Copies of this chain bind each other. A is one copy, B any other.
Amino acid sequence: MATIRDVAKLAGVSVATVSRVLNQNGYVNEETEKRVRQAIEQLNYKPNEVARTLFKKTSKTIGLIVPDISNPFFPELVRAVEDVTNIYDYTVILCNSDEKIEKEKEYIEVLKQKYVDGIILTTNQLELAEVSELDVPVVVLDRPLNHSFPSVIADNYGGARLATRHLYEIGCRRIAHIQGPLHVVNAVERFKGYRDEMQELGLWDEDLVILGNYQLNQTKEAVLQALKEHEIDGIFAGNDVMAVGALKAVQQLGLRVPEDVAIIGYDGIPLTEMTTPELSTISQPIYEMGAIAARLLVKKIEGQPLEQIHHVLPVKLVQRQSTSKGEKK
C-alpha cells in the first residue's frame, strides 16, 4: 500500500502539497497538481482513512443500533438509513441490541472508541443520563426517548385509534387488542390509543386486552385462549406479525376472517400482503422514517441547523381483505 510520502517522493513534492491536491485546499500550481495526480495514479494510491480519522476526529461512519434486524420491521428501516447516509459518504455499523440495555451501552462505548460521527438509536430503555453523556450526535428513531435528541417516530397513538375506529366502522363491537411487550414504549402508546378509542365508543372492556410478545406462536396461543373465553368479533394487533398469529388462531377455530372476526395489524410490512386473506394494517412510512432520521443525523454531524427537531410522521389505514366485510355497517 502506497502512502502519501511515496506519492510525494515520486512527484518530487512535499506531503503537504499532496495533501493539498487531495483535499483541494490551499494553493497548488497547476503543473504541480498534474504531477501529483500522475504519481497517485501510477502508485494506485488511496488515502488511508484511519490516519485521516485520527487527526480529524471524524470517521465517515455512523452507528445504527436496532433491537433485532430479524424482526421484519427493521430491514427496511436499516436499508433507508444505509441508502441515505451513503449519499453523504458514510458507512453504517449495524448493532443488534435485543432491547438489552447492557448491549446498548457496550455498543455505544465501542462506537465512540471508533470515533463514529453519529448514532441512530432505536431504543426506549436507555436513560436520559446515560445517553446525554454521549458527546456524539444522536438521533432517536421509532421510539420516543426524551426531548433532548432529534427524533423520528410515527403517530402510534393516532394509528391505534384509527385501527380501532376502523374495526368499529365495519361493524365490530367486541374489539380485542393484542398488546406488545409492556417495556416497549410504542406498544404502550398503541394500547392507549386503543383504550381511549374504545372508551369513547363506550366499548371498553379490559378483558379484551391480550398480551403478546410480538412473536407469532405465543400470540397464536394467547388468541386461541382469548377466543375461547370471550366473545370477540374484531382484533387489533399491536404489530403485523401478531396479526398473523391472530389470523392463524381464528382460522384454526374454523372461524372466518373477516366475517366472524375481523383483524387489523400494525406496521405495514410486506408480510401483510402475503397472507390469505391479506391483512389490513396501519401502515407506517418505514423507509421514510429511516431516511429522515439519517438526514437529520447527517445534518447534525455537519453542524447544520435542523428546521425541525421532532418528526411525528402520519400513519395510514390500509384496508385489505381481513377487514372487508362487504357492508355490515
Determine the distance from Cα of A115 to Cα of B49 in the docked complex, in whole angstroms: 8
* A253 contacts chain B at the CB level, 8 A cutoff: no
User: Of A8-16, A72-80, A140-148, A291-299, which binds chain B?
Assistant: A72-80
Nearest chain B CB to A222 CB, angstrom units: 17
Residue numbers in B under 8 Å from A216 (CB-CB): 270, 273-274
Asked if B54 contacts A51 (CB within 8 A), the reply is yes
Residue numbers in B under 8 Å from A1 (CB-CB): 135
Residue numbers in B under 8 Å from A273 (CB-CB): 216
Residue numbers in B under 8 Å from A109 (CB-CB): 46
* A70 contacts chain B at the CB level, 8 A cutoff: yes
Determine the distance from Cα of A4 to Cα of B72 in the docked complex, in whole angstroms: 43
Nearest chain B CB to A182 CB, angstrom units: 24
Asked if B70 contacts A113 (CB within 8 A), the reply is no
Residue numbers in B under 8 Å from A78 (CB-CB): 69, 94
Cβ 8 A contact of A271, one of B46, B54, B271: B271
* A112 contacts chain B at the CB level, 8 A cutoff: yes
Chain A positions near chain B (C-beta within 8 angstroms): 1, 46-51, 53-54, 59, 61, 68-70, 72, 74-76, 78-79, 82-83, 91-96, 109-115, 135, 216, 241, 244, 247-248, 251, 270-271, 273-276
